[in-house]
Amino acid sequence: MQTFTVFNHAGGAGKTSISLNVGHELAASGLRVLLIDLDPQASLTGWLGLTDVQPADTVYPVAVDDEPLPTPQQRYGLHVIPSNMNLALAEPHMLGAVGAQGRLSRALAAVADQYDAVIIDSPPSLAQLTIMGALAADWMIVPVPTRQKGLDALPGLKVALASYKKVLPKLDVALYVPTFYDARRLHDREVLADLRAKLAPLAEPVPQREAVWLDSTMQGAPVGVYAPGSPVHRDVQRLTAELAQRTGLPYAGSVA
Ligand SMILES: Nc1ncnc2c1ncn2[C@@H]1O[C@H](COP(=O)(O)OP(=O)(O)OP(=O)(O)O)[C@@H](O)[C@H]1O
Ligand SMILES: [Mg+2]
């Protein structure tokens, strides 16, 4: 089992889109995939069409009471631990408990023989839930928008990654992923050149293509289900292949 945490403390970087769609792509190719929604915004949960989530279905009991993972829900061939707004209430409890940030890592160790890949979608923060997600990972996936906002986040990312790595020396960045790339814009091309100079390993950029990304979230389906074979689906397949190549995941590609 390899565990990936999709991380950027900056909001709207493409974390949830990557978690959901790379996760689905790996599952469609036959791997056993668990997705974990660590974000009280619960976008991943909603974009999978999961509703009526109770706190006991989320990682709340893991984070607060050191319990095992709840039974995952099943959707589109994926196992999913969903989230809801109440997950935000876990953070003050975690602050007062020694070792709370290591609880997800320990809970995942107990299911290591059940999955090939675990993908954790973290919230746009540097707080307790995010740290817990980072410390459960073998690898980080770091989406960075090809905008000034993406560059602005780099110093903070560097500090955060170094602090996680101090506690968990094996933790490494599997891929930095340039997101929302519009090749027609000089600004995007300049930022991408800057990212290429500053970050490694850097994936090929994921182009900005509104319709399918946005509409698939409204439909509550991954793009591989909503628009198989579309340019956006091919972007997802290419990113998944890059990730597999870097980490040794046995992804042979899915048929769209
Ligand atoms: N390549 C893309 N082209 C166009 N829109 C995209 C693309 N990727 C993601 N989006 C859309 O951009 C928005 C932000 O993406 P997403 O929610 O994945 O980012 P995030 O980092 O998880 O945000 P947050 O920090 O709020 O959790 C979403 O509405 C998503 O559907
Ligand atoms: Mg998100």
CATH number at residue 18: 3.40.50.300
Residues of the chain with pLDDT under 70: 254-256
Is residue 187 a part of any domain in this protein?
yes
Which residue puts its alpha carbon closest to atom 16 of ligand 1?
Answer: 14
pTM attached to this predicted model: 0.98
Is residue 160 a part of any domain in this protein?
yes
pLDDT in tens, 165-202: 999 999 999 999 999 999 999 999 999 999 999 999 99
Q: Note down the domain range covering 187.
A: 2-245
> How many Å lie between the centroid of ligand 2 and the Cα of residue 179?
13
- Name the residue type at position 128: Q
The conformational region for residue 39 under phi > 0 = left, psi -120 to 50 = alpha, else beta, is beta
Pocket test residue of 17, 39, 140, 217 for ligand 1, highest count of atoms within 8 A of CB: 17
Reference 38, options 14, 68, 21, 62; nearest CA is: 62
Q: Is 138 helix (H, G, I), strand (E, B) or coil?
A: coil
* Residues whose CB falls within 8 Å of the CB of residue 64, separated by 6 or more in sequence, listed in order: 90, 93, 94, 97, 100
Report the pLDDT value the prediction gives residue 255, as an integer from 0 to 100: 60
Distances (CA, A) of 42 to 81, 82, 108, 193: 11, 7, 20, 33
Is residue 256 a part of any domain in this protein?
no
Q: Is the CB of 12 under 6 A from ligand 1?
A: yes
Question: CB pairs under 8 A, 24+ apart, for 187-194?
Answer: 187/147, 187/148, 188/146, 188/147, 191/146, 191/147, 191/148, 191/150, 191/151, 192/146, 194/151
Reference 79, options 139, 31, 40; nearest CA is: 31
> How many Å lie between the centroid of ligand 1 and the Cα of residue 200?
22
Q: Which ligand is nearest to the CA of 44?
A: 2
Overall number of domains in the chain: 1
Report the pLDDT value the prediction gives residue 253, as an integer from 0 to 100: 83
Element (H, E) at 161: helix 148-167
Report the pLDDT value the prediction gives residue 256, as an integer from 0 to 100: 55
- Give the Cα separation of 173 and 131 in Å (integer): 15
Is residue 116 a part of any domain in this protein?
yes
Is residue 251 a part of any domain in this protein?
no
Is residue 97 a part of any domain in this protein?
yes
- Name the residue type at position 252: A
- Give the Cα separation of 216 and 116 in Å (integer): 25
Distances (CA, A) of 129 to 39, 101, 210: 8, 7, 30
Which residue puts its alpha carbon closest to atom 5 of ligand 1?
Answer: 210
- Give the Cα separation of 166 and 89 in Å (integer): 27
Distances (CA, A) of 31 to 50, 65, 114, 118, 153: 21, 30, 11, 10, 33
Element (H, E) at 132: helix 128-135
**Angle subtended by helix axes 231-247 and 210-219, to nearest 10:** 90
Distances (CA, A) of 16 to 8, 21, 141, 151, 230: 11, 8, 11, 20, 19
Q: Is the CB of 131 under 6 A from ligand 1?
A: no
The closest-lying atom of ligand 1 relative to the alpha carbon of residue 123 is 27
Report the pLDDT value the prediction gives residue 252, as an integer from 0 to 100: 84
Which residue puts its alpha carbon closest to atom 3 of ligand 1?
Answer: 208
